[in-house]
Structures are given as C-alpha cells and as structure tokens.
A = this chain, B = another copy of it.
C-alpha cells in the first residue's frame, strides 16, 4: 500500500482548512512552516498523489466568490489517515531523527484528541528526549578527550538543541495543563 511522506501529512494538516494548491505553497513560502519546499514541482504532484489515494478532493466554493474557486479539502478517509498518524506514539528513533515530524503531529493533534492524550504524548516525547540526552552525554564523556575541539563543540551543540526540546516539552505540558484548569 501507499506510504505518505511527511510533506504529504503536512499538506493533509493544512487542508483541515480548505485551500488551493497555491495557498499551500504560500504557507510554506511565507510562514515558519517553511521547512517544506514550496516549489510547484513538489506541491502539485503531491496533491495529485493524495487525490489519487482519495485522501483529499477538490470542490467549487460558491460561498465566497461568484466565480467559484476550486479548493482542496480532506475527505473522510483523509481526515482519518491524518488522525491515525497524529495518534501514533513517538518512540526514541522519532526523537533522534524526526523531531520535525513530531512537532507536525503535535500541531495537528489539537484538532482531534482530548487534552489527556496530548499530555500523554508530550510526556512520552520528553521521556525519549531525556534518554537521547543521556546517550549523547555518554558519547561526549567517553570521547571528549580524544575528539578534536570542533567536533566536541559540535556535539555540545547537538546536546544543547535536544536539551532545549526537553525544556520545551515540559513547558508545553504545563501550558496545556493550565489551559484545562482555566476553562
């Protein structure tokens, strides 16, 4: 069966609000979601694939304008696919290699699941982040004396990044928890 790329999921998530292919391109071009390419050679083929898999469909919007713009939106199946993807639990290798994907799932998760699930997700992310930090520190302690200075500084940079993520996860847990109680 067909396996979506991260770009595919990013597009699905954006289509929680119907838009044109060009609209998607502009999001990638002008917002902090810019890590995904906005080139027509990546977006339009990706949309065709999603449409072929019946995850998205086009419809004509007569509400807003007389001319009737063609917008893409999620199908029921597409919404389900996106939801399942968001609900997957984040393991160590996700944290090590695909933090961007974890963040994307976190963003779209908001529209599907109760706060309890989100907190559980974030706690598991933080646990794996902390395991990863220990691994990196282990590597650092073992080899720092023999490593060239730039290599050791580069490793410190990696540790600094992932530590920032650990703090963020904690912050996110607290923010969302407080958000419940202020309802």
Contact = CB atoms under 8 A, between A and B. Distances in A.
Contacts of A111: 148
B35 A157 contact: no
Interface in A133-183: 136, 139, 148-151, 153-158, 160-161, 163-165, 167-168, 171-172, 175-176, 179
Interface stretch (A40-48, A53-61, A65-73, A102-110): A102-110
Given A32-B139, A34-B96, A176 B156 contact: no
A35 B28 CA distance: 23
Interface size bracket, A side: 35 or more
A97 interface: yes
A5 to B, nearest CB: 16
A31 interface: yes
